[in-house]
Amino acid sequence: MKARIFDTTLRDGEQTPGVSLTPDQKLRIAIKLDELGVNVIEAGSAITSVGEREGIKKIVSEDLSAEICSFARAVKVDVDAALECGVESVHLVVPTSDLHIEHKLRKTREEVKRTAIEAAEYAVDHGLLVELSAEDATRSDYKFLKQVLSEGIDAGAKRVCACDTVGMLTPERSYEFYKGLTELGVPVSVHCHNDFGLAVANTLSGLRAGASQAHVTVNGIGERAGNASLEEVVVSLNSLYNIKTDINFKMLYEMSKTVARMTGIYLQPNKAIVGENAFAHESGIHADGVIKKAETYEPITPELVGHRRRFVMGKHVGSHIIRKRIKEMGLRVDDVRFEQIFARIKALGDMGKCVTDVDLQAIAEDALGVLAEKPVELEELTIVSGNKVTPTASVKINVDGVEKVEAGVGVGPVDAAIVAVRKSVKDIADIQLEEYHVDAITGGTDALIDVVVKLKNGDNIVSARSTQPDIIMASVEAVLGGVNKIVSDKMIRESENKE
């Protein structure tokens, strides 16, 4: 069996609250969808506006491989607008539930059925392929629903669709519902919404029941809770049901990112198939298993969908992952330095911070630059700062076993802390801060901060760095790192002079 994919990202997907695509954006997405391999692109609803028709015309002019379709209500004016755009087909939609017929349309069943038949005949007579679609089909009288679709087929409709407009189906009911519609003798489309989080499951059940085409959107965008997700449907069909499609799986992640960027609707990290965490591992046990054999904790490979595998380093990470990543970075650390790195990652994890590869490299390089024996160590740091308060810092520093306490003020908390440190070490190193550079390694307010300083003591100039989640601590640690280098250099020179 092979399933067809009818993509409605540019119509139902664009009905996501807050989304409005320009004609050029629609064209770019349509070209990508065609490259992806969808069978039908519902390019929009031609009757909507001049801009909408412009977008549809641009797509039609590209002569894409996919069938280009316009949404249309069962009225001639909508069909005429579609004809003006030059589309190959119309997704002709008519409400069939009594709820919609009585309260929205204020008509009778017979009036609605007649309208649907006349619109279908009109579209067919003008050369359009018609997919007749029943809105709110899953809350309709089933006998009436089949009657409308059957008479629509007699009028020339080549495909029929039953829409679960407000997501009322369950997988069990979906199977029986769509199985009954396959008796009509033409291809049946499944169109499911995600109000109860069941759109993908219901779509798969409908296809298993004999429907041959799935209506989907990229990333599952759409009104309210969205539509069935294209990527989830096609990968599930392939991997779980051995049902093929024409989709180029390797483009799925790229397609997802394109639509997210164009619409401004970004994905939750744990989104299946294309989410940033879909192939991310933190737990030591899971990561170790994936390294040894990917299938242990991955049902599909990230390469299948054009994604990538990531190892996230946090409090659950195992030492083997850290060692592997450090080695891949081309860094060599001994056991002592490795334990320092590992302990810092665990500590950051306990603070709720996950360490990226960039963070890890900075931490590792920082650890490699730290002296094994430190004559000067920070014991306490207190900062007072705020509106209408002079930034003040006090430090307690251990210098070769002797505690020294000093305070300092500055233009800000970092400046005050460095002033206090300089005062506390002036007896052993009269330092001048020559350069100070700070970078946020990754994005976010909890990003690791990388501080690089250049200190001068007489003719001796040294550089030092520290990587911490706190800019004040990173600054103080960097300065103290430089002080320790100066002191150590001084001790080495004195020892050499004695010899």
Domain positions in the chain? 4-263, 280-368, 376-498
**pTM of the prediction?**
0.70
Beta-strand relationship, 67-73 and 40-45 = parallel
Q: Which residues contact 246 (CB under 8 A, 6 or more apart)?
A: 2, 4, 5, 37, 38, 39
Amino acid occupying residue 488: S
Q: Which tokens belong to 320?
A: 């083997």
Cα 356 from Cα 366, distance rounded (Å): 15
* pLDDT at site 122: 98
- How would you label 144-178 residue by residue, b for 16+ Cβ within 10 Å and e otherwise? bbbebbbbbbebbbebbbbbbbbbbbeeeebbebb
* pLDDT at site 377: 87
* pLDDT at site 62: 96
* pLDDT at site 485: 79
Composition of the chain by helix, strand, coil, percent to 5: 45, 25, 30
**What percent of the chain stands above pLDDT 70?**
88
Going by pLDDT thresholds of 50, 70 and 90, the confidence category of residue 314 is low
* pLDDT at site 351: 65
* pLDDT at site 279: 80
φ, ψ of residue 75 to 5 degrees: the values are -140, 150
* pLDDT at site 478: 86
Q: Picking from 315-319, 363-367, 410-414, 450-454, which range would have the lowest pLDDT averaged per residue?
A: 315-319
Among 146-155, 369-378, 446-455, the range with the most confident prediction by mean pLDDT is 146-155
Going by pLDDT thresholds of 50, 70 and 90, the confidence category of residue 358 is low
Residue 305 is given by DSSP the state G
Nearest to 279 by CA among 256, 303, 244: 303
Going by pLDDT thresholds of 50, 70 and 90, the confidence category of residue 443 is low
Cα 38 from Cα 234, distance rounded (Å): 10
| Sole residue written with tokens 């069990």 | 172
* pLDDT at site 448: 73
Return mean pLDDT, the chain.
88
Q: Picking from 38-47, 132-141, 293-302, which range would have the lowest pLDDT averaged per residue?
A: 293-302
pLDDT: which is higher, 288 or 457: 457
Cα 17 from Cα 13, distance rounded (Å): 9
What's the angle, vertex CA 126, arms to CA 122 and CA 116, rounded to 5? Answer: 20
Cα 303 from Cα 273, distance rounded (Å): 11
Amino acid occupying residue 485: K
Q: Would you say residue 360 has pLDDT above 80?
A: no
Cα 422 from Cα 483, distance rounded (Å): 9
DSSP string, 381-416: EEEEEETTEEEEEEEEEEETTEEEEEEEE-SSHHHH
Mean pLDDT of 386-411: 90
Cβ atoms 163, 133 nearer than 8 A: yes
- Secondary structure class of 248 (helix, strand, coil): coil
pLDDT digits (tens, 9 = 90+) for 329-345: 777 788 888 888 888 77
Mean pLDDT of 123-151: 98
**What percent of the chain stands above pLDDT 90?**
61
Beta-strand relationship, 67-73 and 89-95 = parallel
Domain 376-498 has CATH 3.30.160.270: yes
Nearest to 175 by CA among 195, 202, 214: 202
pLDDT digits (tens, 9 = 90+) for 17-33: 989 999 999 999 999 99
Q: Would you say residue 353 has pLDDT above 80?
A: no
pLDDT digits (tens, 9 = 90+) for 177-234: 999 999 999 999 999 999 999 999 999 999 999 999 999 999 999 999 999 999 999 9
Cα 406 from Cα 424, distance rounded (Å): 6
Q: For domain 4-263, give the fold.
A: TIM Barrel (3.20.20)
Query: What are the angstrom distances between the C-alpha of 139 and each of 114, 253, 372?
Result: 20, 35, 73
pLDDT: which is higher, 319 or 47: 47
